[in-house]
Chain A
Amino acid sequence: MQPLLEVRGLTKSFGGVAALSDGHFTLHPGRVHALCGGNGAGKSTFLTIVMGIQSRDSGTIRVRGREVSFSRPSEALAAGVSIIEQELSPVPAMSVAENIYLGREPTGLFGRVDFNGMNANAQDLLDSLHFRISARSLMMDLTVAELQLVEIAKALSYNAEIIIMDEPTSALGEAQADELFAAIVRLKEQGKGIVYVSHRLSEIFNIADEYTVFRDGRFVGEGAIGDVTRDSLIEMIVGRPLTEEFAKTNSPTIEIVLQVAGLNAQNSVKDVSFALHRGEILALYGLMGSGRSEILERLFGLSPDLGGEITLHGKRVTLSSPSEAIRHGLAFVTEDRKVSGLNLMADLRDNICMARLNELSTLGIMRRTREASAAQRMIDAFGIKTPNDKLVVSGLSGGNQQKVVLGKWFLTEPGILLLDEPTRGVDVGAKREIYRVMSDFAAAGGAVIMISSETDEVLGMADRVIVMRDGRISGEVARDALSANSLLHLAA
Chain B
Amino acid sequence: MTAKTHRQDFKAIAADYGQRYGILIALALVCVALSVASEFFLTQRNIINVLRQASINGILAIGMTFVILTRGIDLSVGSVVALAGVVSASFATTSATAGIAGAPYGFYIALSIGILVGMAAGWVNGVLVAYFNVPAFVTTLGMLSAARGLTLLYTGGRPVPSLTPDYRYVGTGDVFGIPMPIILFAVVFIAAFLVLSSTRFGRHVYAAGGNPHAARVSGINVKRVRMMVYVISGALAGLAGMILAARTGSALPQAGIAYELDAIAAVVIGGTSLSGGVGQVTGTLIGALLISVVNNGLDLMGVESYYQQVIKGMLIVAAVMLDQARHRHA
B218 close to A (CB within 8 Å): yes
Instruction: Report whether B213 and A346 are in contact in the complex, using a CB–CB cutoff of 8 Å.
Output: no
B203 close to A (CB within 8 Å): yes
Digitize A330-357: 1 where CB-to-B-CB distance is under 8 Å, 0 elsewhere: 0010100001111111100010011101
Given contacts A16-B5, A16-B9, A358-B200, contact A334 B211 (CB under 8 A): no
**From B197, which residue of chain A is reached at the shortest CB distance?**
A366
**From B221, which residue of chain A is reached at the shortest CB distance?**
A323
Cβ of A37 to closest chain B Cβ, rounded Å: 25
A326 close to B (CB within 8 Å): yes
Digitize A311-328: 1 where CB-to-B-CB distance is under 8 Å, 0 elsewhere: 000000000011101100
A408 close to B (CB within 8 Å): yes
Instruction: Report whether B330 and A357 are in contact in the complex, using a CB–CB cutoff of 8 Å.
Output: no
Digitize B194-228: 1 where CB-to-A-CB distance is under 8 Å, 0 elsewhere: 00001111111011001101111111110000000
Instruction: Report whether B220 and A366 are in contact in the complex, using a CB–CB cutoff of 8 Å.
Output: no
Instruction: Report whether B198 and A365 are in contact in the complex, using a CB–CB cutoff of 8 Å.
Output: yes
Q: CA of A321 to CA of B5 in the docked complex: distance in angstroms?
A: 53
Instruction: Report whether B206 and A343 are in contact in the complex, using a CB–CB cutoff of 8 Å.
Output: yes
> Most chain-A CB neighbours within 10 Å: which of B203, B210, B214?
B214
Kindly identify which residue among B12, B199, B277 contacts A15, using a CB–CB cutoff of 8 Å: B12
A207 close to B (CB within 8 Å): no
Instruction: Report whether B210 and A364 are in contact in the complex, using a CB–CB cutoff of 8 Å.
Output: no
Kindly identify which residue among A342, A344, A361 contacts B199, using a CB–CB cutoff of 8 Å: A361
Count residues of B near A (Cβ-Cβ below 8 Å): 29
Digitize A202-226: 1 where CB-to-B-CB distance is under 8 Å, 0 elsewhere: 0000000000000000000000000
Q: CA of A302 to CA of B213 in the docked complex: distance in angstroms?
A: 10
Task: Please indicate the chain A residues that have their CB under 8 angstroms from the CB of B12 in the complex.
Answer: 15
Once A and B bind, how many residue pairs between them come within 8 Å at the CB atom? 87
Instruction: Report whether B217 and A343 are in contact in the complex, using a CB–CB cutoff of 8 Å.
Output: no
Cβ of A349 to closest chain B Cβ, rounded Å: 10
B278 close to A (CB within 8 Å): yes
**From A323, which residue of chain B is reached at the shortest CB distance?**
B219
Task: Please indicate the chain B residues that have their CB under 8 angstroms from the CB of A326 in the complex.
Answer: 218-219
Cβ of A302 to closest chain B Cβ, rounded Å: 7
**From B277, which residue of chain A is reached at the shortest CB distance?**
A345
Instruction: Report whether B217 and A322 are in contact in the complex, using a CB–CB cutoff of 8 Å.
Output: yes
Instruction: Report whether B214 and A364 are in contact in the complex, using a CB–CB cutoff of 8 Å.
Output: no
Cβ of A366 to closest chain B Cβ, rounded Å: 5
Instruction: Report whether A364 and B199 are in contact in the complex, using a CB–CB cutoff of 8 Å.
Output: yes
Q: CA of A408 to CA of B214 in the docked complex: distance in angstroms?
A: 11
Task: Please indicate the chain A residues that have their CB under 8 angstroms from the CB of B216 in the complex.
Answer: 302, 322, 340
Instruction: Report whether A366 and B217 are in contact in the complex, using a CB–CB cutoff of 8 Å.
Output: no
Kindly identify which residue among B202, B214, B277, B278 contacts A354, using a CB–CB cutoff of 8 Å: B214
Given contacts A350-B207, A357-B204, contact A332 B199 (CB under 8 A): no
A residues engaging B (CB < 8 A)? Answer: 15-16, 300, 302, 321-323, 325-326, 332, 334, 339-346, 350, 353-355, 357-358, 361, 364-366, 368, 392, 408
Q: What are 26 A-B pairs with beta-carbon distances under 8 A?
A: A16-B5, A321-B219, A322-B219, A326-B218, A326-B219, A334-B217, A339-B213, A340-B214, A341-B214, A341-B217, A342-B211, A343-B210, A345-B210, A345-B277, A345-B278, A350-B203, A354-B220, A355-B219, A357-B200, A357-B203, A358-B200, A361-B199, A364-B199, A366-B202, A366-B203, A408-B218
B residues engaging A (CB < 8 A)? Answer: 5, 8-9, 12, 198-204, 206-207, 210-211, 213-221, 273, 276-278, 330
8 closest A-B pairs by beta carbon, nearest first, are A343-B210, A323-B219, A340-B213, A355-B218, A345-B277, A345-B210, A354-B218, A343-B211
